[in-house]
Structure 1
Amino acid sequence: MSDQADLESLISYVLNYRSPISSIKKALIMGLAIGLRVGNVRKMSANHLKIDENGEFYLHFPKDENKTKANGDEYLGLPREVGEWLLSFNLKGSQLFFGNTKGKPLSDGTLSNALGDYCSEKLGDNVCLVFHSFRKIASTFCHENMPQNGLIPYEVERTLFHAIHGVAGVYNKSTNIAMTRKVITWWFNYLESLGLAL
C-alpha cells in the first residue's frame, strides 16, 4: 500500500472498527501510528512507557522482549500526543495497554483478523493486510517522502528496529530516542493529516 487514498481508507477503517473488546481498536491505532511489531503491542504494559527529565515520552523494550535480540534494548521516542494518550489509560506496572477482557495479551490472530473485513471490502480476496503490514506501510511512506520529510534510510530502519550490523549498529540510548522520535513524529503527523485521531 503506497497510495494516499488507500491509506486514508485504512485510517477510516481503523477508526471505525467495532468490537466488544475496545483494546483491539486501540491496538490497531497504536500499530498504525508507531509501526511496532505485533508482539511489542500485544505485550506492552505501563512498565514500558517512560518519561525523561524533559517530560518527553519514550518506550523501552528490554532485549529479551524483542524479536531482534542482537540489537539490544529497543528505545522509541514518542510524539507527545501519543505519550499523553497512553498515559491517559491510567495503568500501573505490568497492566497491559491493549489486553483482552481478562487482562491478558490479545492474540496475534485477533489483531490480524481485525483487518480481515478491510481486506475483503477494499483489497479483494487475493490481497490481505495483517498487523505486521502496518510496519511495511510506515516504511514505504517514510522512504517515499524522504525529499519532503528530511529523514534518511538509517533513521527509518532504526525506528523499525531492523538488524543493523557493524559500526552503524552501535548507538546510544539518547541518540536513538531522539532519532526514533523524529521518524515517528513525522509519520504520526502525516497520518493525522489524513484523518488519524487518538
Structure 2
Amino acid sequence: MPKTATPLNDKRIKALKPKDKRYLVADGGGLALEVMTSGTKIWRYRYSLHGKQQPMVTIGEYPAVTLQDARGRADRYRETVAAGVSPVADAKKDRGAAQALDTVRAFADHWYQSEIAPKSKSYSTVTRRALDKDIYPAIGNKPLVDVNAGDVLAICDKVKGRGASQSALFTRNVLKRMYEYAIARQLAAVNPAQQLVARYIATPQSRTRVLAPDEIGRLMRAVYASNMSRAYKLALHLLVITMVRKSELIEAEWSEFDLDEGIWRIPAARMKKDNEHWVYLSAQAVEMIRELRTLSHSQRFVFPMRRGYEDRPIAKSTLNQAVRAMKADVQHFVIHDFRRTASTHLHEMGLSSDAIEKALAHSIKGIKGVYNRAQYADERRKILQLWATFVDAQINEGNKVVVGRFGVAA
C-alpha cells in the first residue's frame, strides 16, 4: 500500500532547509515541493500518462506561488491528465500569466512574503504599513530599475513632514533591504536607498537602557504583586535570569528540558542565528520550570494559550501587554532590556566576556568562535547561577510580596 503524504503547511515549508542535494517533499495528489541546494523552493507536479511516468511539471517558486495556488493548479492538471492530455502546455501558460516582478509593487509583494512575513508580527506589520502607506502610492507602479535616490528622498521627506522622522528612516531602510534582495537576484543593479545617508534623514534611536540593581528589584516585586497569571510572572522572572530572547522562551517545549541535568536545549530552528543553544539552568530556574509543569495544560508547550482548542504557545505580544498593564515604578523599560541588563552587570562583575556572550547566544568572532555549544559550559553554568542569585537579592530587598521558594537550596 503506497505511503500517504502528510499535507504541507506554511510553517513546515518555511522550516525546510537546503541540503547537499536537492530533494522533494510531497504534499499529496502529485504535488511536491523541491528544495534546491540554494534554498529556493519550487513547486512540481508529478504524474503518469497512459501508464508511463512523465517528467515533472514545474508550477512555480514558493512563496510567489502560494501553497493554496499550487494546490489549485495541481487539481486542474490532475483533471487534464485524467482526460488523457499532458498538462505541460497549461503549466507553461500559467507561468507566463504569472505577474512579472518588474514593478516596485510586484517585487515588494514577493520580497515581503518571502523575507518579512515569517518574521515577528510587530516587524512585519510596520513593514507592511510602510509599503502600503508611503512606498506604493509614490512608486508602486514604477519599474523597479527606474527608481532613483530622488524618489526615495521624496518619500522620506513626505513622511518627515508628518513629524515622523524615525518612520522616515525606517521607510528608507525598508527600501534599502528590499533592493539588496533585488540586487542579489540580479533584478536590479543599483540600490537607490543606499545612496541616502541615514543621519541626514534622522538620527537612529539606539536602545541603551540598562536596569539598575534597585530597578530590577522594584520591577520584579511589581510583577509578583500584579494581577497577571502566575505563569506570566514566572515567564518574566525566567526572562531575567536565563538571558534568552522572549520568543525563545514563550515557544519553549517540554521536550527541550532536562531538569535533572539542569539543561535547556533550544533547537536551531527557534534561534536567531540558526544554531542550537544550550541554557545551563540555575537552581532557581529549574524550580520555576517544575512549577510551570503543574500549571500548564499542554503536553507540548510550556506557555500554552489559555483559550481555544489549538495547542500553541501564547502570542508574542502577551508578556508585553502584561507588563504595560501593571503598575511599576520603572521608566522607559521594554522586555528586551533584560538581556542588556544582565550582560552589563555580569561584565561589571569581571566575569568572562566570552562566556557571557555564549550565554546570550551571541557569535564570537575569530578562532574562539569555532567551538561547539558546550564551550565555556562550566563558566556559563556558574554565570547563570550567580546572576539568578543576584536577581534574588534585589527582589528580596524590602520584599513584601509572595514570590516563591526559588533560592539555591529550594
Residues 59 and 165 of structure 1: is their aligned pair in 2 closer, same or farther, counting only changes over 3 Å? same
Q: Which residue of 2 aligns with 1:83?
A: 286
Pairwise mapping of residues 16-165 of structure 1 onto structure 2 (< 5 A)?
Answer: 16-19=225-228, 21-51=229-259, 55-69=260-274, 72-88=275-291, 89-90=293-294, 95-102=300-307, 103-117=311-325, 121-123=329-331, 127=332, 129-146=333-350, 151-165=351-365
Q: CA-to-partner distance for each residue in 1:31-59, whole Å, 9 max, x for gaps?
A: 112111011111011111125xxx43111
**TM-score normalised per structure 1:** 0.80
User: Are the counterparts in 2 of residues 42 and 98 from structure 1 also a CA contact under 8 Å?
Assistant: yes
Task: Find out whether 1:10 has 2:219 as its counterpart.
Answer: yes
2:289 alignment partner AA? L
Counterpart-to-counterpart distance in 1, 2:211 and 2:329: 18
1:45 alignment partner AA? E
Deviation at 1:95, TM superposition (A): 2.0
Counterpart-to-counterpart distance in 2, 1:25 and 1:2: 18
User: Are the counterparts in 2 of residues 46 and 92 from structure 1 also a CA contact under 8 Å?
Assistant: no
Q: What SS does structure 2 have at the residue aligned with 1:108?
A: coil
Query: Which stretch of the first structure deviates more once superposed, 169-178 or 37-46?
Result: 169-178
User: Are the counterparts in 1 of residues 346 and 387 from structure 2 also a CA contact under 8 Å?
Assistant: yes
Q: Which residue of 1 aligns with 2:166?
A: none
2:278 alignment partner AA? Y
Deviation at 1:93, TM superposition (A): 8.8
Residues 94 and 132 of structure 1: is their aligned pair in 2 closer, same or farther, counting only changes over 3 Å? farther
Residues 167 and 56 of structure 1: is their aligned pair in 2 closer, same or farther, counting only changes over 3 Å? same
CA RMSD of aligned residues (A): 2.5
Larger radius of gyration between Structure 1 and Structure 2 = 2
Q: CA-to-partner distance for each residue in 1:56-81, whole Å, 9 max, x for gaps?
A: 31110111110111xx2101111233
Counterpart-to-counterpart distance in 2, 1:94 and 1:167: 41
Unaligned 5+ runs, structure 1: none
Deviation at 1:184, TM superposition (A): 0.8
Count of aligned pairs: 184
User: Are the counterparts in 1 of residues 211 and 337 from structure 2 also a CA contact under 8 Å?
Assistant: no
User: Are the counterparts in 2 of residues 60 and 73 from structure 1 also a CA contact under 8 Å?
Assistant: yes
Counterpart-to-counterpart distance in 1, 2:267 and 2:365: 19
User: Are the counterparts in 1 of residues 297 and 304 from structure 2 also a CA contact under 8 Å?
Assistant: no
Match of 1:189 among 389, 396, 410: 389
Residues 117 and 92 of structure 1: is their aligned pair in 2 closer, same or farther, counting only changes over 3 Å? closer
Residues 92 and 25 of structure 1: is their aligned pair in 2 closer, same or farther, counting only changes over 3 Å? closer
Residues 181 and 94 of structure 1: is their aligned pair in 2 closer, same or farther, counting only changes over 3 Å? farther
Unaligned 5+ runs, structure 2: 1-209, 397-402
Counterpart-to-counterpart distance in 2, 1:4 and 1:11: 11
Q: What SS does structure 1 have at the residue aligned with 2:284?
A: helix
Residues 30 and 120 of structure 1: is their aligned pair in 2 closer, same or farther, counting only changes over 3 Å? closer
Counterpart-to-counterpart distance in 1, 2:372 and 2:302: 27
**TM-score normalised per structure 2:** 0.41
Structure with greater helix percent = 1
Percent of residue pairs bearing the same amino acid type: 21
User: Are the counterparts in 2 of residues 98 and 105 from structure 1 also a CA contact under 8 Å?
Assistant: yes
User: Are the counterparts in 1 of residues 222 and 328 from structure 2 also a CA contact under 8 Å?
Assistant: no
Counterpart-to-counterpart distance in 1, 2:232 and 2:283: 22
